[in-house]
Chains A and B, each alone.
Chain A
Amino acid sequence: MTDTTKQANSGGPVLRVSGLDVDIKLPHSVVHAVQGVSLEVSRGETVGVVGESGCGKSTLGLALAGLLPPEAVARGSIQVGDRELVGLRERQLRAIRGTEVGIVFQDPMTSLNPTKRIGAQVGEALRLQRGVGKAAALEAAADMLDRVGLPRPREQLSRFPHELSGGMRQRVVIAAALICEPVVLVADEPTTALDVTTQAQILELFDRLSDELGMATLLVTHDMGVVAGHADRVFVMYAGREAESGETRAIFDEPRHRYTGALLGSVLRMETPRRSRLGTIPGRPPDLTAPAAGCPFAPRCEAAADDCGTALPEASADGGHRWSCLHPIDSEQPKLVAEAQDEFR
């Protein structure tokens, strides 16, 4: 495969987001969907972005993929390798999508053209962006389909998406996203529509390709179980902002932000005692058209005090673990998440 991708700063972060704001203009208001987000992802690293619906995680993914709608305005910086994405025109973004940033969405049918053969779709970015000839692109497509675990890849080249199952279609989408060996892969709920058995196969595929191709992966998901097993670091978002981030183990074992704690407390696990009263988070995420002055989680937080309502909490850090909470969970307190028991495995 022709790899003309710039091996930018191998070792250091290849995706650098800093102070990113995304505003979405509605007829009578503005949704502040992403506010002041900064994060870095290195080669071969997977960062899981989690939070409830409406917390801004998908908008963040779209911004990194250069797919924001026309009514959205981004400020701040998104660097992929040494390219700045913020401020680029659609034509320039199109050249980056699929070559430097690969994208995988939840529903493979929305990413695939139902009227085009699979070989042509998988090889498309090579032909359009790299000027590779038709025969060579098909050859590369067959290689990539083989790599993502599609059985009999050569036979699949001439088939149409509807002839494949959901899991196989998602493999095709992944092959198309990775054919130019992008530096960054944005995967937004890539396995949510799939069966658990298929999901496990796709997640295993991501793990393997991340090692082999060394891309930086941003895995956007609502599923804490997926993140626990397949992300190196976790980025918890609330109300368009970073609530907490750190190594996966630290986030799960010693969450500091009250939102992370509440989120983990409401997740069902095999160890959850049957029919015990489950933890919930009262209320709903806030309206992002008019962000309140204080901590956005305060109205739903059981530990909220008067000072939480006055100003945004500054970020505190302990090594690579960062949280923005005035009254964080004390790591000396009994853990919200019980120790793992391995009896179910």
Chain B
Amino acid sequence: MSSGDTAMDATAAPPAADAADRPLIELVNVSKHYRGSGLTGQAGAPVLAVAGVDLAVPPGASVGIVGESGCGKSTLGRVVVGLEKPTGGAVLLRGKRVADMGHGERRASRREIQMMFQDPYAALNPRMTLDRIIEEPLRARGGISRTDRRDRVRRLADEVGISAAQLGRYPRELSGGQRQRVGLARALATNPALIVADEPVSALDVSVRSQILNLMASLQAEHNIGYLMISHDLTVIHYFTDHVVVMYLGKFVESGPPEELFRSPAHHYTQALIDAAPDPVPGRATAVTIRGELPSAAAPPSGCRFRTRCPAAQDRCAEEEPVLRAFGPAHQAACHFPLKEAVPA
């Protein structure tokens, strides 16, 4: 992924294309640094949470990001939704740089991208009734009459499976699944084109998890919503998304269609994640392919960042950083000694 336009071969749009054909959101060489704080003993050393990534989400598509905690996937989600400003590179919404937008335009663009959190309880105001919670983004937007807002809240609630009788309740009176439904209704209130869903079902029981995933899928079909789904759970990502990105220490190490990526990965890190993922098949124990934990993002290893934990690392991996190469249509990986042959350039 050397430039933004080739970020996703299958979906990249030519630079001159009409705004309507452009990816909904595009990240071009985006980085996000944090200044190391004195508390961690690394005063001054910048932590590179996201280190120059290219990503495009076409309208109505579902893109998944997987990786361990600390790999930068949540930071990336916050950059996409506008909660964090990138320290390098550009974020484009329908082909236009967000940084170049005026105040009003940026506000309007924010409404197009909404966020869904892992713990809806922490994300919902405990002092507000459900109808107020769902209505709030509409009030913030302004220009909609009270009656129309009420109407819209009822329709949104109905769509996510919250009954009119429940709308007068408070978040604490709901189960985790119902709270996630309210979070979804709130996210939908402004008719977003993209929902960034950070571990949306991780905190839920399996029975409820499948209800929420079914709901997210049907809302997508109905409204052509795109999802950027961030999760550590490979089965969820495999089931839900059309394109998967594997992140390691702020970089994309592999990306591709889920069937291919999970059946025949090129990167050793992807293989390690697959081996470690619990799969409910009796006798199929999770396997430990890599030891240890993520190194510090403040001092990433030289060359390939994964080499310190990689079973196939050689001298070259410490000296030279691997670049993303093609392994198939829309399938890329950055590895000097991949698990399969790269497509000749």
Report whether chain A binds chain B: yes
Q: Chain A interface (Cβ within 8 Å of chain B)?
A: 52-53, 151, 165-168, 195-201, 203-204, 207, 222-230, 248-249, 251-253, 262-264, 266-270, 272, 274-275, 277-281, 284, 337, 340, 343-345
Q: Does B234 contact A (CB under 8 A)?
A: yes
Interface pair A223/B283, CB less than 8 Å apart:
no
Interface pair A228/B283, CB less than 8 Å apart:
yes
Interface pair B282/A249, CB less than 8 Å apart:
yes
Q: A274-B258, A343-B263 are in contact. List 16 more A-B contacts (CB 8 A).
A: A52-B207, A165-B293, A195-B293, A197-B276, A199-B278, A200-B288, A204-B285, A204-B288, A248-B282, A252-B282, A253-B282, A268-B213, A269-B281, A280-B207, A340-B284, A345-B274
Q: List 28 contacting pairs A-B, 8 Å CB cutoff, sorted by A.
A: A151-B292, A168-B293, A196-B68, A197-B272, A197-B288, A197-B293, A199-B276, A199-B286, A200-B275, A200-B286, A201-B291, A203-B286, A207-B285, A224-B280, A228-B282, A228-B284, A229-B282, A230-B285, A262-B207, A266-B206, A268-B206, A272-B239, A278-B213, A337-B280, A344-B262, A344-B279, A345-B274, A345-B275
Which residue of A52, A199, A226, A278 contacts B214 across the interface (Cβ within 8 Å)? A278
Given known A-B contacts A201-B288, A278-B214, A270 and B175 have beta carbons under 8 A apart:
no
Interface pair A268/B210, CB less than 8 Å apart:
yes
Please indicate the chain B residues that have their CB under 8 angstroms from the CB of A284 in the complex: 175
Please indicate the chain A residues that have their CB under 8 angstroms from the CB of B213 in the complex: 268, 278
Given known A-B contacts A272-B235, A280-B207, A229 and B68 have beta carbons under 8 A apart:
no
Q: Which residue of B lies closest to A268 (CB)?
A: B235
CB distance from B133 to the nearest CB of A (A): 21
Please indicate the chain B residues that have their CB under 8 angstroms from the CB of A229 in the complex: 278-279, 281-286
Q: Ordered nearest first, which 7 A-B pairs have the shortest CB separation? A: A225-B278, A278-B210, A229-B285, A200-B276, A281-B207, A200-B286, A224-B280
Given known A-B contacts A278-B210, A345-B284, A167 and B279 have beta carbons under 8 A apart:
no
Cα separation A284 to B204 with both chains bound (whole Å)? 12
Cα separation A264 to B232 with both chains bound (whole Å)? 21
Please indicate the chain A residues that have their CB under 8 angstroms from the CB of B343 in the complex: none
Please indicate the chain A residues that have their CB under 8 angstroms from the CB of B263 in the complex: 343-344
A-B pair number, CB within 8 angstroms: 153
Cα separation A281 to B214 with both chains bound (whole Å)? 12
Interface pair A223/B239, CB less than 8 Å apart:
no
Which residue of B206, B210, B236, B239 contacts A222 across the interface (Cβ within 8 Å)? B206
Interface pair A195/B232, CB less than 8 Å apart:
yes
Q: Which of B181-240 contact A (CB under 8 A)?
A: 205-211, 213-214, 217, 232-236, 238-240
Which residue of A196, A223, A227, A262 contacts B232 across the interface (Cβ within 8 Å)? A196
Interface pair A195/B206, CB less than 8 Å apart:
no
CB distance from B193 to the nearest CB of A (A): 20
Q: Does B247 contact A (CB under 8 A)?
A: no
Interface pair A280/B278, CB less than 8 Å apart:
no
Q: Which residue of A lies closest to B178 (CB)?
A: A284
Please indicate the chain A residues that have their CB under 8 angstroms from the CB of B273 in the complex: 196-197
Interface pair B259/A266, CB less than 8 Å apart:
no
Cα separation A165 to B69 with both chains bound (whole Å)? 11
CB distance from B261 to the nearest CB of A (A): 11
Q: Does B19 contact A (CB under 8 A)?
A: no
Given known A-B contacts A197-B290, A200-B286, A204-B288, A266 and B210 have beta carbons under 8 A apart:
yes
CB distance from B124 to the nearest CB of A (A): 19
CB distance from A250 to the nearest CB of B (A): 9
Cα separation A222 to B273 with both chains bound (whole Å)? 20
Interface pair B285/A203, CB less than 8 Å apart:
yes
Q: Does B318 contact A (CB under 8 A)?
A: no
